[in-house]
Each structure stands twice: as C-alpha cells, then as structure tokens.
Amino acid sequence: MTVYLDHAATTPLDPGVLAAMRPYLEAEFGNPSSLHAFGRAARQGVEAAREQVADALDVAPLEVLFTSGGTESDNQAVKGIAWAARDAGRGRHLVTTAIEHHAVLDSCRWLAGSAGFELSVVPPQPDGVVDPERLLAAVRADTVLVSVMAANNELGTVQPLGVVGPALRERGVALHTDAVQAFGRAPLDVDGWGIGALALSAHKFNGPKGVGVLVLRRELPAVPVLHGGGQERGLRSGTFNAAGIVGCGAAAALTAETMATQIPRLRALRDRLLGALLGVGGVTLNGSATARLPHNANVAVRGCDGEALLLALDAAGVAASTGSACQSGAAEPSHVLAAVGAPADRAHLRFTCGRTTTEHDVDAAAAAFTDCVKRLRDAGGGFL
Amino acid sequence: MARVLVAMSGGVDSSMAAALLVDEGHDVTGVHLKMADTPSGLPGKGCCTLDDARDARRVADTLGIPFYVWDLAEAFRERVVDDFVAEYASGRTPNPCVRCNERVKYAALLARARAVGFDALATGHHVRLRRAVQPGGGGRWRLLRAADPAKDQTYVLYMATQDQLAHTLWPVGEHAKPALRAMAAERGLLTANKPDSHDICFIPSGDLGAFLRPRLGAREGVFVGPDGAEVGRHDGSYRFTVGQRRGLGLAGADRPLYVTAIDGDRVHVGTRAALEVGGLIADRVSWIAGAPPDTAPVAAFAGAAPPDTTRVAAQVRYRGRPLPAVLADAGGGRVRVTFPQDRPEGVAPGQAVVFYDRDECLGGGTIVTAES
C-alpha cells in the first residue's frame, strides 16, 4: 500500500502530457532555433506551448518565457528586475516576505548582501498570511521591486495579491509573484492584480521536471541572468528544451481546463483528511483555515518528532513531508514555520492532495497517521 | 526477522553491517548521521561529510533498503565536541568515540530508533555480541572482542548496558576486515576499497593543535623536568597528552623526554621509565553485566564488605595491551586499579580504562589519576 500525499513537492506526470511530449523526444528532435524543417517542426511545438501557457494565465504569448524551473524563474525575475531598475537609477530597495521560497528570499538577500541593494523582509501574521497594510508600509520611494508569493508552499496560505497588487501598481512599483504552488489551485489575475512577473514550475501541475515559466509583462524591464544565444527575448539564453516545454504547455492547458472541477474535488478530499487528522488528540492546523489552497493540510502534532513521524509514515507506505532537506538529505528546520511562530517541540507535517488522489488514499493516510502517532507517543515521541 | 536500523557512516564496515543484516533476512533501513555542520558548497574531508552521506545513500540503493539522513550535529556538538574541548582545557585526554557512543549513538539514536518502531540498532563496530545460555532463557548479554583483533572496538563500547545490548546488532565483528572488504567488492558496494578512518571524525586534518587553538587560545606555560626545574616553555598545555614525545620542542635534552603529567599550565616531562605507573584511579565505572563480576576468575568487589579485590585484564588505551590488574573499591564510586605484574606506560587522565576477562569486555571507567 502506497499513498502519495506530497503533491506540493512534485506531482506525477499526466499520461496525456507524456503523450504530447513523446514526439519531441523522438522524431521532432530539431533545435527549435534552427531555420530548417527540423528546427521549424520543433519550434511549432514550443510556440504552441507558449500559447497554451499564455491562455492559461490570460497574458500575451510574448510575455511567456520558458526556463529550467521555478527557481530559475524566481532568480531571473528578482535579479533581472532589480538590476534593470538600478541601472536606470530608479532605486535599490527591495521588499519581500519572510515566508517566501528560498529562490526568492535568498536572491533578495544576495542582492542586499553583495550587490548594493537594501532589503525589507515583512513577517507574516501568525496565520501565515501577510498583512497587506504592513507590506505596503514597507514600500519606500526608492523601492524597485516587491516579491510576494501567491500561496505558500508549506502552509498553503494564500497571500492577498488582489489587495497588494493594485496598490503597488498605483505607486508604480513592480510586483513579482512566485505562483509555483498557486497555479491551478487558486485564482490568479495577472492583469487585474498588476502582476509584473510571475513564476511557475511545470512539475507542480502534472508536467515534467526541469521546465519553468517566467511571465514577464512587456512593459517591465529586466536584465538577463544567463547570457548566450539570446533566446526568449534575450532574457533566457540556451537551447529550448522542446519536449519539456511542450509538456509544460500541455500540463498548463490541462490544469486550466480542469481547475473548476479540481478545486472543489481537492477541497473535499483535503477536508476529509484534515477532519480525520484533527480528530487525533493534540493535533492542530498550521496556518489559516480559510485563506488556504484547497489541497493542503499542514498540522502540528504534539508529543511527536516530525522526522520520526515522517519515517514511521513512510514505513507504513504514506508519503508526506516535513520541512525541506539540506544537501546531505537531513531535514532542516522550516523558516516558514519559524516565521509564524510554530512551536519547535512537536511534529509539523504537510499532506498535499493532487489530481490522482482518491478518497481511499486520504482514508488510508488518516488511518496510518492515527496509528503512527499513537505508537510514537507511546514510545516517547522519537525526539533526537 | 527484525526491523533493524543501521547507522551508515559511508565506510565499508557499516556498509557491510547493512549488507549482512539484509542477508540474514532482516527488514533493514539505513540512516546516516550528520554530525557536523558542513558549510554549503564546501564539502569537507573525513567523516560526516557530503561525500560520506552520498556513499552511504548509494550503498543503501545497491542493497535496496530505505535510507535517511538524521541531523545530530547539535547533539554531537553539545555532548561530544564541547566535552572534548573542555577535557583538553582541563589537562585531560578525552576519548570522543566513547562519548559519542555513550551520549549520541546508544542514547539519542537508539531511543529514536526504538520509538519509531525498530527492534534494534546496528552499527559497523568491530565487536561481537553473545547471550549467555541460561536455563529457562533470558541470559545476560556479553560483549566480546572482534574476530579481527586488529580492528577490535570493545574499548569504545565498554559503557554499554544490558538494555542497549538487547537492542543492538554488530554483524561485522564476526568477520576479519579483509574478508569484509572482499564481500563488499563482490557485491559491488562502492565503499569496498574506501580507506579506513583513523582520525577523530571532527578533526579530519588530524591536527589537534589547529583544532584546539582557536577554541582555547594561547595559554602559555612551562615544562617541568624530572628534578622540578623549568626546562622550557609552551603555548598551551592542551596540545599535550601523557606519553607524548614528539612535538615538545625541547631541544638539547640528553635523553628523549616524554610528557609524564599535566597539571594546569605546567607540563611535566621525564624519561620513558617515568611513564610507567603502578596503578590508577578511575571513576564513572560501569559494568556490562550491570554489576561488578562476582564469579571466578574474579572475586567479590565493590559494595561488599570488607572490600575484596577483583582480578581482571585492564587496558588503558584504544590499541593498548591488556595487563593483569587488581581492582578495589576506592570509595565515592571510584575504583583503584593496580598492576601487579607488567606496568602500563603513559596513563592519560580522561582516557578509558577497560576491563576484560580473556575475550570478554566486562566494563570500564574514566581514568582520573595515575598512581605510582
């Protein structure tokens, strides 16, 4: 029995997506930048995928850049926009939040630490949602970029972009958002919210690993991080990963088409799971119950160590998550949980449902969780 | 079949521990213990590094067993490294492997393994475990020297308790090291030809002075000769160990001089003959059986009145020779060890004195002082 409830880490490749990719791994091997027939055939796949992504986000195809993943998209957006603003003499101040993915947080810190920028990091409220007033209060006359994630990867908390975005647009400050977790699971209104840049990662929505999207609105100047052949408006050099990009397009189309039915389905599964988890004594929900992605259940478990509980669940065939892993593979304490003041003396476990999750899966996971927590507590919790 | 957690350092011994347990039909899981904070992007050398974590992971993959990395860096720093530094600062010579086994591996790690549902913890230590046959079962556990005497590690496991032994497996101690390497090579384990580690794992350079200096600073002091006169100066007594000859910087002496004792910033030196001691006092004594031996070939000891004596073989350093010794209660939980025949050289306070009856490790303690 194996139950996969770690869709925030990655999702299985959809069979239809794989089928769309396959020709570009076989017959259509051409370099999409080549002028001959082989190149044109591959280029068609890339451009069709660009349109699929553009449609899914309601932006222009020209504004969709393909990258190697969410991390690259975030790096390119944060560094590229910051550098361009600095070069134009518009200022050197950045604003972000304490619960960003490290791709954003560490890019901002790097700019502040070694490239002459100043950084304001806004803490979240205890429910894992950033207060828009507090965020906007951090913006100064010389602020050139605000980066706020659309939804948090660990807590699943949805951030108030609908409030923050228009206010920033009024003040002429660029907004980048890491939408890696939110895409397909919560509404994203790029135009309406005044989003200047937005990052996606294909493998988080049943596409392949190694492909990301950076939406960069045409009016927002950016300097490239990678130099080379000048692909993607000169902002992302490197031979197109044609098969991956085609898979990303197919997955984006699938996600957009099925979002209206998937969101309530995921919410029902998650609520069923969460109800069972919270039924075990000493288990509480981390993060807002309402401003939350529909697939995410993140719980604190008293009297258990997180890593020990994760291992016990793994042995029982249930895949969940706690924190992130360092280079050697050890679990590291989560900066997100620290930022919301989650107590360190207990387990914090994240379960995330996905397209392939069934009621049977969540029931089996809940049963295993109940059993593992009891066993672990009886034996002292497994703290190191 | 038992559920066994194997601590996999990334070396050949713990790799083979996992392999042998898989062969025996156990349900085996590997865990690598992250003992040091390796700065990102700077993979270090020696134990507990990214290379070793990767090697351990690949061996687990080859064996088809689950694998995890557990971060014990904080516990290791607090319970082993800080103690190590403090002991040197006090003029003693600590044994960090003893402390690590006592306070990390067979404490925190074993407790977690059992809490998570494992029946036993296994490591790649070269020791053997036997259970005394007793009518009706339930005989006590005995810790025996390894099949490969050159690799024996009972010295660093003397503090094991019956409860720990009942939940521990040491499969590699049954085999000679060359045979283990051959078995590892036959299985295609990538650690088969990895060199043995000799250094202290958190001082991969082997330069003890370079490790201690930034932590303890310069503490100038003097060398004191056999006649009590000052014969030289040094920049920190923590660089020295009783029995040490090299690196004293005492040129011009007509005979080789050895460190015979460390007393604060005063480092006493003398001839080799001065290293010989007739006995020692040990504290924090523990017995694997749970109590001092009370049967032949040893007599009653400790707690019994009048304090009788116990005859054992005592070993005062990791690769030392066990010497006939007589144990007596020295009061206050301490034990007096006297050597009626051969006398050991260079007994360093802080090191372990470990007691044996032939191949069986009976227990041991920490050396407090040497006695002439």
Q: Tens digit of pLDDT for each residue in A2-55?
A: 999 999 999 999 999 999 999 999 999 999 999 999 999 999 999 999 999 999
Q: Say whether pLDDT at B179 is over 80.
A: yes
The answer to whether residue A118 sits within a structural domain is: yes
Same domain for A228 and A112: yes
Same domain for B176 and B59: yes
CATH number of the domain to which B282 belongs: 2.40.30.10
Tell me if B71 and A326 make a contact (CB, 8 A cut-off): yes
| Contact (Cβ atoms closer than 8 angstroms) between residue B65 and residue B23 | no
pLDDT at position A57 is 98
Nearest to B259 by CA among B320, B318, B346: B346
Write down which residue in B186, B202, B226 finishes a domain: B186
Residue pairs spanning A and B at CB distance below 8 A: 63
Q: Which of B57, B109, B117 sits opposite A312 (nearest CB)?
A: B117
Write down which residue in A213, A234, A255 finishes a domain: A255
Model confidence at B309, pLDDT cuts 50, 70, 90, reads low
Which sign, positive or negative, has the C-alpha torsion B239, B241, B247, B253? positive
Phi, psi (deg, nearest 5) at residue B120: -155, 160
pLDDT digits (tens, 9 = 90+) for A80-102: 999 999 999 999 999 999 999 99
Same domain for B174 and B76: yes
Please list the active-site residues of B.
Answer: 100, 201
Taking the C-alpha atoms of residue A29 and residue A31, their distance in angstroms, rounded to an integer, is 7
Q: Which residues of B touch A381 (CB under 8 A)?
A: 115
% of chain B residues with pLDDT over 70: 92
Cα radius of gyration (chain B): 22
pLDDT at position B50 is 77
Same domain for B270 and B287: no
Taking the C-alpha atoms of residue B262 and residue B90, their distance in angstroms, rounded to an integer, is 9
Same domain for A230 and A81: yes
pLDDT at position A268 is 98
Which sign, positive or negative, has the C-alpha torsion A23, A27, A32, A38? negative
The answer to whether residue A383 sits within a structural domain is: no
If DSSP codes are grouped into helix, strand and coil, which group holds residue A246? helix
pLDDT digits (tens, 9 = 90+) for A304-345: 999 999 999 999 999 999 877 667 778 888 999 999 999 989
pLDDT at position B248 is 87
**Better-predicted residue by pLDDT, B138 or B156:** B156
Same domain for B125 and B53: yes
- The active-site residue out of A108, A304, A326, A372 is A326
| Contact (Cβ atoms closer than 8 angstroms) between residue B242 and residue B277 | no
pLDDT digits (tens, 9 = 90+) for A225-270: 999 999 999 999 999 999 999 999 999 999 999 999 999 999 999 9
If DSSP codes are grouped into helix, strand and coil, which group holds residue A115? coil
Same domain for B226 and B281: no
| Contact (Cβ atoms closer than 8 angstroms) between residue B28 and residue B4 | yes
Residue identified by tokens 């078995």 is B183
Contacts of residue A297, Cβ cutoff 8 Å, sequence gap at least 6: A270, A273, A274, A277, A285, A350, A351, A352
Write down which residue in A255, A276, A292 finishes a domain: A255
Tell me if B53 and A328 make a contact (CB, 8 A cut-off): yes
Interface test with B, best of A309, A328, A383 (most B CBs within 10 A): A328
Cβ-in-10-Å burial (0-12, 13-18, 19+) of A201 comes to buried
Q: Say whether pLDDT at B296 is over 70.
A: no
| Contact (Cβ atoms closer than 8 angstroms) between residue B275 and residue B258 | yes
pLDDT at position A298 is 97
The answer to whether residue A384 sits within a structural domain is: no
Between positions 325 and 384 of A, the ones with CB within 8 A of B are 325-332, 375-376, 379-384
Same domain for A205 and A190: yes
Write down which residue in A224, A255, A286 finishes a domain: A255
Q: Would an 8 Å CB–CB cutoff place B77 in contact with chain A?
A: no
N-terminal to C-terminal alpha carbon distance within chain B? 52
pLDDT at position B105 is 92
Q: Which of B69, B75, B109 sits opposite A329 (nearest CB)?
A: B69
Interface test with A, best of B47, B70, B116 (most A CBs within 10 A): B116
The answer to whether residue B167 sits within a structural domain is: yes
CATH number of the domain to which A55 belongs: 3.40.640.10
CATH number of the domain to which A372 belongs: 3.90.1150.10
Q: Say whether pLDDT at B44 is over 70.
A: no
Strand segments, DSSP code E, in chain B are: 3-7, 27-34, 67-71, 120-122, 127-131, 141-145, 168-169, 221-224, 230-234, 258-263, 266-270, 279-287, 310-315, 323-331, 334-338, 352-357, 360-371
pLDDT at position B294 is 62
CATH number of the domain to which B95 belongs: 3.40.50.620
pLDDT at position B249 is 83
Same domain for A223 and A282: no
pLDDT digits (tens, 9 = 90+) for A115-157: 899 999 999 999 999 999 999 999 999 999 999 999 999 999 9
Helices and strands (H, E) in chain A, number of each type: 10, 14
How far is residue A238 from each of residues A22, A31, A65, A224, B223, measured CA to CA in Å? Answer: 21, 11, 12, 12, 67
Q: Would an 8 Å CB–CB cutoff place A308 in contact with chain B?
A: yes
pLDDT at position B49 is 66
Q: Say whether pLDDT at A175 is over 70.
A: yes
Element (H, E) at A285: strand A283-285
pLDDT digits (tens, 9 = 90+) for B221-278: 999 998 899 999 998 999 899 999 988 888 767 788 999 999 989 999 999 999 999 9
Model confidence at A357, pLDDT cuts 50, 70, 90, reads very high
Q: Which residues of B touch A307 (CB under 8 A)?
A: 68, 70
pLDDT digits (tens, 9 = 90+) for A274-290: 999 999 999 999 999 99
Tell me if B115 and A311 make a contact (CB, 8 A cut-off): no
Taking the C-alpha atoms of residue A253 and residue A259, their distance in angstroms, rounded to an integer, is 10
Nearest to B347 by CA among B255, B248, B244, B249: B244
Domain count across chain B? 3
Q: What is the DSSP letter of B39?
A: P
Same domain for B67 and B108: yes
Same domain for A207 and A317: no
Same domain for A80 and A105: yes
Tell me if B34 and A328 make a contact (CB, 8 A cut-off): yes
Same domain for A284 and A167: no
List for chain A the helix, strand, coil content (%; round to 5).
40, 15, 40
Q: Which residues of B touch A380 (CB under 8 A)?
A: 111, 115
**Better-predicted residue by pLDDT, B294 or B340:** B340
Q: Say whether pLDDT at B45 is over 50.
A: no
Same domain for A299 and A233: no
The answer to whether residue A149 sits within a structural domain is: yes
Same domain for A109 and A51: yes
Same domain for B331 and B294: yes
Same domain for B257 and B320: no
Helices and strands (H, E) in chain B, number of each type: 9, 17
Nearest to B14 by CA among B277, B196, B258, B245: B196
pLDDT at position A155 is 97
Tell me if A312 and B29 make a contact (CB, 8 A cut-off): no
**What angle do helix axes A37-57 and A242-278 make, rounded to 10 degrees?**
30
β pairing state of A296-301 and A283-285: antiparallel
Model confidence at A181, pLDDT cuts 50, 70, 90, reads very high
Model confidence at B47, pLDDT cuts 50, 70, 90, reads very low
Average pLDDT, chain B: 89
Same domain for B111 and B35: yes
**Better-predicted residue by pLDDT, A69 or B34:** A69
Same domain for B237 and B135: no
Taking the C-alpha atoms of residue B200 and residue B215, their distance in angstroms, rounded to an integer, is 16
Taking the C-alpha atoms of residue B188 and residue B93, their distance in angstroms, rounded to an integer, is 40
Write down which residue in B163, B186, B209 finishes a domain: B186
Cβ-in-10-Å burial (0-12, 13-18, 19+) of B351 comes to buried
Count Cα neighbours of B31 within 13 Å in the Cβ-side half-sphere: 26
Tell me if B116 and A380 make a contact (CB, 8 A cut-off): no
pLDDT at position B306 is 35
Residue A301, domain extent:
3-10+260-378
Same domain for B280 and B328: yes
A326 is catalytic: yes
Q: What is the predicted ipTM?
A: 0.87
Model confidence at A301, pLDDT cuts 50, 70, 90, reads very high
Q: Which of B40, B67, B116 sits opposite A382 (nearest CB)?
A: B116
If DSSP codes are grouped into helix, strand and coil, which group holds residue B345? strand
From B29, which residue of chain A is nearest by alpha-carbon distance? Answer: A315
| Contact (Cβ atoms closer than 8 angstroms) between residue A211 and residue A241 | yes
pLDDT digits (tens, 9 = 90+) for B91-127: 899 999 999 999 999 998 999 999 999 999 999 999 9
| Contact (Cβ atoms closer than 8 angstroms) between residue A44 and residue A33 | no
From B42, which residue of chain A is nearest by alpha-carbon distance? Answer: A327
The answer to whether residue B202 sits within a structural domain is: no
The answer to whether residue B194 sits within a structural domain is: no
Residue B234, domain extent:
218-274
Taking the C-alpha atoms of residue A251 and residue B202, their distance in angstroms, rounded to an integer, is 48
Model confidence at B61, pLDDT cuts 50, 70, 90, reads very high
pLDDT digits (tens, 9 = 90+) for B180-234: 999 999 999 999 999 988 778 888 888 888 899 999 998 899 999 988 999 999 9
Q: Would an 8 Å CB–CB cutoff place B318 in contact with chain A?
A: no
The answer to whether residue B347 sits within a structural domain is: yes
Tell me if B115 and A379 make a contact (CB, 8 A cut-off): yes
Q: Would an 8 Å CB–CB cutoff place A305 in contact with chain B?
A: yes
Same domain for A275 and A248: no
Tell me if A384 and B112 make a contact (CB, 8 A cut-off): yes
Same domain for A251 and A264: no
Model confidence at B38, pLDDT cuts 50, 70, 90, reads low
Residue B359: how many CB atoms within 10 A of its CB? 15
Same domain for A281 and A146: no
Tell me if B66 and A305 make a contact (CB, 8 A cut-off): no
Same domain for B298 and B325: yes
Q: Say whether pLDDT at A294 is over 90.
A: yes
Domain count across chain A? 2
Model confidence at A201, pLDDT cuts 50, 70, 90, reads very high
- What residue type is A366 in one-letter code? A
Q: Give the torsion through C-alpha atoms of A59, A65, A66, A69, to 10 deg.
A: -90
